[in-house]
Structure 1
């Protein structure tokens, strides 16, 4: 299917040639019914005789700097090599990037194609890497878009489950525009989006331009990483793995935790608790009884995320969450892993607690709701 929106060309086609070969050449492409090339920053398109119904041309300022090409791929494919991650751009590359966007509904396809890009920044990309590995192991319906420029992956957008908001990696502004245009022209409706503050703000802004709807910021977070830990006094209790016999208590705490952060409490609580008990990744701080809890994820590319930190109201203001997270983080460091965590920007107490433990800020995360 070919659609011509002014001078910006959008194509959605079945995968013919391999994606990595098509974008690596950087030369004139002949795909489907369209021949295109870039001349001094402007896209020049020539349609075959059977493509004539172009819409009126848009104003100069409304043209996209990237050419979004959404390639619909269904089914397995083999990729002889990974596309290299994009490093620092040379001064000679200041012209607008020519971007291509590939769509797939397979998480393992994203890992094989964009894995090297994602693991090049394992802290910033940990949330998406974790989701992709989970979906590859136990498939859940999802949508995934990979943005490439000059033969290299520069960004990834994921949506799984398909009723959830999308999440994107940090990426250049041109790549964000290309990603939004590909999603919109594919006819996908997103309820919202989350990601690194500057990239996701650009995504939300472009979405409102294309979809003629509002984008409302709903939540702000900060991503932290720990290099060395400043442990508080641990003599008043001990960190231990949660016990199956405590499942009901831990589910109750997890429900309250998810209510506090505005997520579906019941479903998420049972999933996290049962998975944590099965893998030994759900922890409690014990002072004759459980008084606080924390969980951690699988280690991916050397990074392990601490999450679901919760202390019930009757045990708060005694430092239990601090010692629980500190002891767990120390264990992760001893294993040679890089602990990270997310905090609510609106919660000054938790941000202060984690900074005292030695966590340092990496980036800010925003979420938007589309109305």
Structure 2
């Protein structure tokens, strides 16, 4: 199979039937695709299905890489060589697809952005850098703080959305976060915990994604720091 041959689909079930095993085989590195796919599969109203595009690259019947493009038209990619990145850019532009950006590891994002510029003339601007940290053994602080944690309840929803809006603004995101748009944002699938002062005032927040493939992602405890607790080793 040629390196520039991709299977494209708008059907999440078809995509997962082909690429699901590959995504789950590297749960730490693929933590974002796993979370997004689970949200898409279990909450069908969260995204407009007509605006999604999924793709997987196969070699000898096995997936080697995947991408997905959601309504914001930003492409998310698993690692690709520069040759495969160029082939994918050529394939997508040849089909008339448009993109607003790319999210991937540094080398893949750079290779794809350069390829996209060659094929379309568009220039790329670095928006943000993120790092993935694995949580090992948690050491409780000594002495213990007088503060405490509390699960965020329905009565805290406006407070929660306000903090998420402020975080999105700090990160330069243009998403709208309110009661009407909440379900379609990247914040909606998490379970949140407030950290409160002894007087009951929230001073920090952490969101935890559901466990998928033995992996849990904890954010947005800080704007550009993501912790992953996993039962498997990074690959």
Give the TM-score range, shorter chain.
0.7 to 0.9
Residue 152 of structure 1, CA deviation: 2.1
The answer as to 2:89 corresponding to 1:180 is: yes
The 1:136–1:236 alpha-carbon spacing in structure 2 relative to 1, beyond 3 Å, is: same
Of 204, 207, 219 in structure 1, the residue corresponding to residue 128 of structure 2 is 219
Structure that is richer in strand per residue? 1
Partner SS state of residue 309, structure 1:
strand
Match of 2:149 among 228, 231, 239: 239
Q: Which residue in 2 is equivalent to 1:204?
A: 113
SS at match of 1:219: coil
Equivalent in 88, 99, 102 of residue 190 of structure 1: 99
Q: Does 1:338 align with 2:226?
A: no
What CA deviation, in whole Å up to 9, does each residue of 1:254-307 have, x standing for no partner? Answer: 21111111123532783469946xx7x110012222111111111111111111
2:164 pairs with 1:259: no
- The answer to whether the 8 A contact 1:293-1:309 is kept is yes
Alignment: residue pair count: 221
Q: Kindly indicate whether the alpha-carbon contact (under 8 Å) linking 1:165 and 1:192 is maintained by their aligned counterparts in 2.
A: yes
- Please, which runs of 5 or more residues in structure 2 have no aligned partner? none
SS of 2:220 mapped into structure 1? strand
Corresponding residue for 2:10? 105
1:137 is displaced (CA, Å) by: 2.3
Separation in 2 of the partners of 1:262 and 1:154?
A: 32
In 2, Cα distance between equivalents of 1:137 and 1:242: 22
Aligned partner of residue 167 in structure 2, secondary structure:
helix
Normalised TM-score (structure 1)? 0.54
Alignment of 1:1-371 (within 5 A): 67=2, 98-139=3-44, 140=47, 141=49, 142-161=52-71, 163-233=72-142, 234-264=144-174, 266-267=176-177, 270-271=182-183, 275=188, 281-287=191-197, 288-289=199-200, 290-309=202-221, 338=230
Partner of 1:50: none
Asked if the contact 1:176/1:203 (under 8 Å) is kept, the reply is: yes
SS at match of 2:104: strand
Which one scores higher on RCO, CA 8 angstroms, separation ≥ 6? 2
SS of 1:183's partner is helix
Contact 2:161/2:177 (<8 A) preserved:
no
8 A Cα contact 1:108 1:132, kept in partner:
no
